[in-house]
Amino acid sequence: MSEGTCKVKFDRKTIACPEGEPLGVCLYRNGIKSLNFSSKHLRCRGFTDLEWWMPERFQSQQDSFLNPYAVVDDGISVTIPRPGALHQFLIGTMGHMVDSQFPHKVIVRKRPFWSVARRLLRRDLPHPLPTPVQQQMIKQSVIETDALVVGSGVSGISFALKLRELGGKVAVIEAAHTLGGHATLDESTMQGLGKKLRDYAEGLVQRAQDEGVQLFTDLAFDGFFDDGALGVRLGGLQSDAPVFLRARFFVFATGLRDLPSLFENNDIPGHITASTALKLAGRYGVRLGDEGVVIGSNEYAVRTALQLKSTEVGVTLATRYEHLTGVRREYLAALKDAKIPVVAGVRKMSAIGKTRVRSLVVDEKRLQVDFIVSAESMSPTLELLGQAGVPVGYSRDLRSLIPMHGWNGETVNDRVLVVGRSSGILDEYASSAFAEATAYYVATKLKLGVKDEDVANKLNEAKSALSNRCQENYESYSRLVSSYEARGVLNDHGQKAIYSDDPHKVFVCFCEDITLSDILRAVTVHGFQDVEMVKRYTGVGTGKCQGKRCLANSVYVISDLTRKPPGTINVFRQRPMTVTTSLESLESAEL
């Protein structure tokens, strides 16, 4: 074994992991793409997102709830929880009778059958069994500051640097292992700066470190409660620990979360989101395969395709739209130069493969692929905004649900502000400028002696930065803010979200195995028109990721089916926890 690697036993195989690398990464590197098993459909699942909140679980001696994002130690042994043989037999023989709700909602309502079925199903659900562990000393901590920034991306750091400069106390928390957010994955050259986006983001982080801004990694915002805000230090193999977050203002700079695309067999191992693809290929140097497809039509999709192409893999861009939209000229030119084929106007997509994707049928054409990347729709971190009571609207131009806020990022909750991509600014440089303007605004609230005209000037600078760099984005952002100012919610009509005619094979919720057909039944047979009722009927959003992967997609699907604007579908009430937290950690929380 070479220096700096550790050996991990994974389901009886032994693999070598470079030190400090998340377990999921080295599994992917070793060609292991299926990390769990669908108890309802009896097939392999991979992860779509490689994020700190990953809902996939491994069982190990140290922690029964290890997720693939954890950095593991030498000698650790993990297994995938699988359904028992009986469960498999039951589902295998009665699978066609499994009704929408949960894997166990078998249509055996007659009493003698039901009581047998429930016992059998209860016996071996594919979940970990808690392992007895030693009591650990858990150290809680407190972060007390004027403004707490959630998210260490370009806008979060820009805000923090500026507020600090203006004399405010500020702390930044980041749930991932590394600072800098999605921009650190982006090798694109930034318009007007002649600099790579990654360098820009890393430069900001460096500056923040030099200037002594309080920065915390592996620390997630866990929720707003009546008696305070709680964060959690993510422990990986160690125990997580509670952190009390005391701040006058909470600034959400949480960016946009990629959503898995909705096509046939989209639960196949090898279907990953754009940020996951960039993380694997860019940050960790994992070769994704020989050929792949990027699904999407916006600038984000184009940039993703370009970067994947630069890692020496073949890439095709596919989209349901007739044209690419919102893509700046230089990226369109680069796309042409890189000779990336674009398939537009796609109606149907269907993935093929058993334990990993082998090919993708795009309309009638079969493409040999090793990976499929979703880069078409994104969603702000609805779970945080929902907890804070911030209403969410839908912007047609941004093709996203978006929190309602004013020019300075202010929301209906006077302690909560949003900045950056989660506020609807897609251009990173302009989002930096807007975040600085928000810092001026917060500085006046904190009475740091900033003049009102400075706030206005700063905002105007930001506005012209955005309109100069991306007029389209400026216009959509203005529309969003005007609706907020009119005390309304932006309610554009959505566009069709689904690439399929076969609703049984399109997965909307990956935690609870909920397909499009389940939602279809809820909407058309039972007449449920909003997410809350669809959630109660199908279970969508109640799984381990708490809606992070499925909430926005289910809103888009219901909007598609009911022909109502996504903003009116009533996103269900989001409740803490933002990230699941262990009892031993919560037990130690001393107010």
Q: Identify which range of 62-70, 185-193, 204-212, 246-254 contacts another protein by CB under 8 A.
A: 62-70
Contacts of another protein in 125-164 (CB under 8 A): 125, 127-133, 135
Per-residue contact track with another protein, 237 to 276, x per CB under 8 A?
Answer: ----------------------------------------
Alpha-carbon distance of 187 to 311, in angstroms, equals 11
Q: 218 and 118 in contact (C-beta within 8 Å)? A: no
Contacts of another protein in 489-548 (CB under 8 A): 526, 530, 532-533, 536-537, 544, 546
Chain centre to alpha carbon of residue 232 = 18
Per-residue contact track with another protein, 170 to 209, x per CB under 8 A?
Answer: ----------------------------------------
Place of tokens 């037999």: 89
Among 49, 63, 258, 299, binds another protein (CB under 8 A): 63
Among 13, 123, 347, 366, binds another protein (CB under 8 A): 123
State the amino acid at position 529 in one-letter form. Q
Of 352 and 412, CB closest to another protein: 412
Contacts of another protein in 284-313 (CB under 8 A): none
Of 53 and 484, CB closest to another protein: 53
**Is 512 in a helix, a strand, or coil?**
coil
Q: Identify which range of 115-123, 163-171, 370-378, 439-447 contacts another protein by CB under 8 A.
A: 115-123
Of 501 and 587, CB closest to another protein: 587
Of 161 and 232, CB closest to another protein: 232
Of 59 and 500, CB closest to another protein: 59
Shortest distance in whole angstroms from residue 386 CB to another protein = 12
Among 23, 98, 121, 346, binds another protein (CB under 8 A): 121
Handedness of CA 58, 60, 66, 68 (dihedral sign): negative
| Binding of residue 65 to another protein (CB under 8 A) | yes
Angle ∠(557,559,562) on CA atoms, nearest 5: 110
Per-residue contact track with another protein, 207 to 226, x per CB under 8 A?
Answer: ----------------x-xx
Of 422 and 542, CB closest to another protein: 542
**Is 360 in a helix, a strand, or coil?**
strand
Shortest distance in whole angstroms from residue 235 CB to another protein = 10
Exposure class string for 427-455: b at 16+ Cβ within 10 A, else e:
bbbbbbbbbbbbbbbbbbbbeeebeeebb
Contacts of 272 (CB under 8 A, 6+ apart): 46, 47, 48, 49, 50, 280, 371, 372, 373, 374
Chain centre to alpha carbon of residue 46 = 15
Contacts of another protein in 42-61 (CB under 8 A): 57
Place of tokens 């080295």: 26
Contacts of another protein in 464-493 (CB under 8 A): none
Of 454 and 532, CB closest to another protein: 532
Place of tokens 């009911």: 562
Q: Identify which range of 41-49, 122-130, 302-310, 460-468 contacts another protein by CB under 8 A.
A: 122-130
Angle ∠(198,260,472) on CA atoms, nearest 5: 60
Among 42, 338, 343, 589, binds another protein (CB under 8 A): 589
Shortest distance in whole angstroms from residue 556 CB to another protein = 21
Shortest distance in whole angstroms from residue 96 CB to another protein = 17
Among 86, 94, 107, 333, binds another protein (CB under 8 A): 107
Q: Which residues pair with 379 in a beta bridge?
A: 257
Give the binding-site size for another protein (rule: CB under 8 A): 58
Place of tokens 């954890």: 70
Of 317 and 519, CB closest to another protein: 519
Contacts of another protein in 4-33 (CB under 8 A): none
Place of tokens 């982080």: 205
Alpha-carbon distance of 478 to 12, in angstroms, equals 56
What's the token pair of residue 522? 């809820």
H helices of 389-427, in order, are none
Chain centre to alpha carbon of residue 143 = 25
Alpha-carbon distance of 373 to 50, in angstroms, equals 13
Of 159 and 528, CB closest to another protein: 528
Among 111, 447, 487, 563, binds another protein (CB under 8 A): 111
Is residue 361 classed exposed, middle or buried when 0-12, 13-18 and 19+ CB atoms within 10 A define those classes?
middle
DSSP 80-126: -----HHHHHHHHHHGGGB-SSSTT-BS--SHHHHHHHHHHHHHT-S
Among 185, 230, 315, 506, binds another protein (CB under 8 A): 230
Per-residue contact track with another protein, 546 to 585, x per CB under 8 A?
Answer: x----------------------------xxx--xxxxxx
Of 228 and 449, CB closest to another protein: 228
Of 184 and 542, CB closest to another protein: 542
Per-residue contact track with another protein, 338 to 377, x per CB under 8 A?
Answer: ----------------------------------------
Q: Verify cis geometry, omega within 30 degrees of 0, for the bond prior to 577.
A: yes
Alpha-carbon distance of 507 to 528, in angstroms, equals 19
What count of residues does the chain have? 591
Q: What is the dihedral of CA 418, 423, 429, 435, to 10 degrees?
A: -20
Q: What angle do helix axes 111-123 and 85-94 make, rounded to 10 degrees?
A: 140
Q: Which residues pair with 345 in a beta bridge?
A: none
Shortest distance in whole angstroms from residue 100 CB to another protein = 11
Of 482 and 524, CB closest to another protein: 524
Contacts of 201 (CB under 8 A, 6+ apart): 153, 154, 157, 180, 181, 183, 184, 186, 428
Alpha-carbon distance of 104 to 501, in angstroms, equals 26
Q: Which residues bind another protein (CB under 8 A)?
A: 57, 63-65, 81, 101-105, 107-111, 114, 118, 121-125, 127-133, 135, 223, 225-228, 230, 526, 530, 532-533, 536-537, 544, 546, 575-577, 580-587, 589-591
